[in-house]
Amino acid sequence: MSQTDMEQTATEAVEQAEDEAEEKAPVAAEEPQAPAPINVKQIKGILEMNKGARFRTWLNICARCGLCADSCFFYLAHDKDPKLSPAYKIKTTLGEMYKRKGEVDREFLTQAKEVVWGQCSVCRRCSMFCPFGIDMASMFMTARAVCNSQGILPAGLARTKKNIIETGNQMAVSNEDWIETCEWMAEEWGEEVAGLNIPVDQHGAKYMYTVNPREPVYYPQDVGMMAIIMYVAEESWTVPTNGWDCTNLAMFCGDKAAAAIPVRNMYQAAQELGVEYILMTECGHAYRSGCFEGPYFMDIPGGKPPVPVKHSVQLFVELIREGKIKIDPAKRLKERVTVQDPCNVSRSGGLSEYLRELTNMLCEDFVDMTPNREYNHCCGGGGGFIPMGPEYKKRRMASGKVKAEQIRATGAKVVISPCHNCFDQLNDINKEYKLGYKVVSFKELITEMMIIPDKFKPKDEDEEEDAGASAESEE
């Protein structure tokens, strides 16, 4: 998808809508009591700015062949309802906006919101099935930008955007809390690996590790696991005090200005620390933002990030290939395993072969889903769906049917997910469709299975008295 497709939008309108909404029930954010009038001029501006050669061509040459329909999991999950085909969804939202030259009202935009967020996860699968290769996700993102500019967007996303604008990360975690989490995890996991530490703001490290704010908030152990892997592999790494959030939900709001905030923080931190790579946790959309879209949010000429971005899945494969991390063959998973291809890791990240190589390194009975790799279906939680909240959950469960059936067909008891949003969605559809599998991340499996060399093993209780000196001498 292309990143030039979002226009800077007025955040005031959103904030106003939210302020009003917060006084009422949290779900009512999109219908404030006194809605601001629609700013047609602003909409025209967004539409005009995006009407380059690609958009003109795409809007004009769609041959209405309908081939995109079968590519869309919303369409497939709802008995092939023709209103859910990507081309129809574009035609009735962005197509209509262009046709009416931006002269749309609140009612139209509110309906469009239900389509561009509620019926599309911008997974980009349809582009691969269109004879002209029309990049429909880009068009949906522009339609989102139009809705967003008028403060019309799902309440859950509006809240995360507000957090990003106010605090620089989607969950409003303070930098102090983040660093405290790192220290706490180093201490806690230090019981398993002697001398474990999480270097903070270390200049000249090879990797600057960035996370999803869900980790400090809900899954701090994820930070600990990563620390163990990096420590045992003796990799040069650090975490930054600022710019540690690699996620970007403002991207899914269609808000270019807000989407530039976390990206700018992260790039700046990496440049200041002089690292070789920005390393990312197992998250899909963060990778899409950091690697591909971020440079366009910041208008960086050439469209490439100033510091290369590496997904942790790629690093894990490299560490095991190089023997820096050794997997205990006896601990490899015996149960049947399948791996989820997150859209933003496989289709939009190009990492699908790494997922398979890593899964085979860790598991004995790996069965791929059909279709897989770049052709895989979105789990139904992408494109901002998970943070869109309870209001959209029913729809998320209904469209998750396609993924549920894919997993059921593999007979897997364990599903590996290298993406936080997929992780949540896979857990939810597991309950909804009674599939009975367990969802894990790669780092969780690696921490369980890796061989901790003797030099990193903590001393036994009876040896503990003289441990201090010998642990140091061993290093």
Partner 1 sequence: MYQLYEFLRGPGAWIAFTVFFVGLAVRMAFLVGLSKERDKVLYNHFDWSWAWRSIFHWLIPLGSVSFRQQPIFGLVFWVFHVGLLAIPLFLNAHNVLWDEAFGISLPSLSDKLADYGTMVVMACVAFLFIRRLARPEVRILSEGWDYLLLILVLAPFLTGFLAYRQIGPYDLMLNLHIFSGELMLILIPFSKLGHIILFFFTRAFIGSEMGARREIEGRLGARTW
Binding residues vs partner 1 (CB under 8 A): 2-4, 49-54, 56-58, 60-67, 69-71, 75, 80, 82-83, 85, 87-88, 91, 124, 127-135, 292, 296, 302-304, 308, 310, 314, 346-354, 374-375
User: Using alpha carbons only, what angle is made at residue 290 by residues 286 and 294, rounded to the nearest 5 degrees?
Assistant: 120
Nearer to partner 1, 209 or 296 (CB): 296
Tokens 């574009």 label which residue? 90
Give the span between the Cα atoms of 87 and 64, in whole angstroms.
7
Question: Which of residues 78 and 459 has its CB atom nearest to partner 1 in the complex?
Answer: 78
In angstroms, give the least distance from the CB of 348 to partner 1.
Answer: 7
Task: Record the tokens describing residue 61, joined without a space.
Answer: 């040459």
Tokens describing residue 416: 């590996």
Least Å distance between CB 99 and partner 1? 12
Backbone angles phi, psi at 298, to 5 degrees: -100, 5
Beta strands across the sheet bearing 277-280: 237-238, 207-210, 277-280, 309-311
Backbone angles phi, psi at 436, to 5 degrees: 65, 35
Please identify, using beta-carbon distances, which residue of 137 and 426 lies nearer to partner 1: 137
- Three state DSSP letters for 191-217: CCCCCCCCCECCCCCCEEEEECCHHHH
- Picking from 332, 322, 424, 407, the residue whose alpha carbon sits closest to that of residue 371 is 407
Contact between 300 and 263 under an 8 Å Cβ cutoff? The reply is no
* Least distance between partner 1 and beta carbon 401 (Å): 18
**What are the residues facing 279 on neighbouring strands?**
209, 310
Q: How far apart (Å, rounded) are the C-alpha atoms in residues 13 and 4?
A: 22
CB 71 → partner 1: shortest distance, Å? 7
Angle made by CA atoms 291, 293, 298, in degrees to the nearest 5: 105
Please list, in sequence order, all residues whose beta carbon lies within 8 angstroms of the beta carbon of residue 153, skipping any fewer than 6 positions away: 14, 30, 113, 117, 144, 147, 161, 253, 254
Between residues 76 and 104, which has the closer beta carbon with respect to partner 1? 76
In the complex, the smallest distance separating the C-beta of residue 54 from partner 1, rounded to whole angstroms, is 5
**DSSP code at position 124:** -
Please, which residue, 67 or 435, has the CB nearer to partner 1? 67
Cβ-based nearer residue to partner 1, 159 or 256? 256
Q: Which is nearer to partner 1, 51 or 101 (CB)?
A: 51
* In the complex, minimum distance from the CB of residue 83 to partner 1, in angstroms, rounded to a whole number: 7
Nearest CA-CA partner of 272 in 247, 300, 238 = 238
Q: Considering only CA atoms, which of 130, 124, 126, 119 is closest in space to residue 65?
A: 130
CB of 242 to partner 1, least distance (A): 26
Lookup: tokens for 2: 């292309």
Question: Judged by CB, which is closer to partner 1: 128, or 409?
Answer: 128
Q: Which is nearer to partner 1, 3 or 181 (CB)?
A: 3
| SS3 label, residue 131 | coil
Which residues lie below 8 Å from residue 382, measured CB to CB, with a gap of 6+? Answer: 121, 122, 123, 284, 285, 342, 343, 344, 421, 422, 425
Cβ-based neighbours of 137, under 8 Å, separated by 6 or more = 1, 120, 122, 123, 124, 126, 127
Cβ nearer to partner 1, comparing 300 with 398: 300
Q: Please, what's the largest Cα pairwise distance for the chain?
A: 79
Q: How far is the CB of 329 from partner 1 (least distance, A)?
A: 26
Q: Which is nearer to partner 1, 66 or 390 (CB)?
A: 66
- CB 381 → partner 1: shortest distance, Å? 20
Between CA 305 and CA 301 the distance in angstroms is 10
Question: Measured from the CB of residue 176, what is the shortest distance to partner 1 in angstroms?
Answer: 34
Shortest Å, Cβ 270 to partner 1: 16
| Closer CB to partner 1, 133 or 274, in the complex | 133
Closest separation in Å from C-beta 35 to partner 1: 31
